[in-house]
Amino acid sequence: MLDMKQFLLGNDAFRGSYVAEARSYLERLASEKQSPSALYIGCSDSRVIPELLTSSSPGELFVVRNVANIVPAFEHADASVGAALEYAVAVLNVEHIVVCGHSGCGGIKAIVDGHAALRALPNLHQWLDDAAQPLQAELDRDLPGSSLVDRLVERNVLAQLCNLNTYPVVAERLQAGVIQLHGWVYDLPTGRVRVFDVNEDTFVHFDGQST
């Protein structure tokens, strides 16, 4: 069993390396209002670390993470997700919102396998039940298991982008042209990100020019 002391020793190492080198930057962050440029909405999966995969520094990303990177529609909004979304957009004035799914997502696998088996975990079951509804058309397709999971990971990201549009605070800024939405899928084995290309209507590998 992992000893929690390891994490505290890790903090000592963090303070002795990163903090020591970036002290002036961190002190400035602490003294000023935060001003991240992007809201990142991703999965809680422990293998997917937003700041690590984007090489972001403290203060650059405002992060929301939950099982299967879900944004409930405004009329059924989860208070935590909705509050973070409204704060990031209306108070922090982020210019970008990224919804990032990932390969091998356990939440999506549970939906494919039949999340009714999770009824003993009522909160998780309800969370995935809401997420499964917009994916039903894909679930009905005759695809191999792994292909279906991969496809649903993508479709789930697009469903959450649609849900973002149901929030008045987002819709207003989209209409004003002051915010952009982005759909990503992160590949665990390679660390590579694919982005949704509106013109191609598919996810493509980032080539240095994709947005």
Q: Which of 182, 176, 178, 211 is nearest to 93 (CA)?
A: 178
* The length of the chain, given as a count of residues: 211
Looking at 15, 23, 28, 47, which residue is catalytic?
A: 47
197 is catalytic: no
- Which two tokens mark 124? 């998780």
96 is catalytic: no
Output the 3-class SS for the chain. Answer: CCCCHHHHHHHHHHHHHHHHHCHHHHHHHHHCCCCCCEEEEEECCCCCCHHHHCCCCCCCEEEEEECCCCCCCHHHCCHHHHHHHHHHHHHCCCCEEEEEEECCCHHHHHHHHCHHHHCCCHHHHHHHHHHHHHHHHHHCCCCCHHHHHHHHHHHHHHHHHHHHCCCHHHHHHHHHCCCEEEEEEECCCCCCEEEEECCCCEEEECCCCCC
43 is catalytic: yes
Looking at 100, 105, 115, 150, which residue is catalytic?
A: 105
Looking at 43, 100, 150, 194, which residue is catalytic?
A: 43
47 is catalytic: yes
23 is catalytic: no
Please give the positions annotated as active site. 43, 45, 47, 102, 105
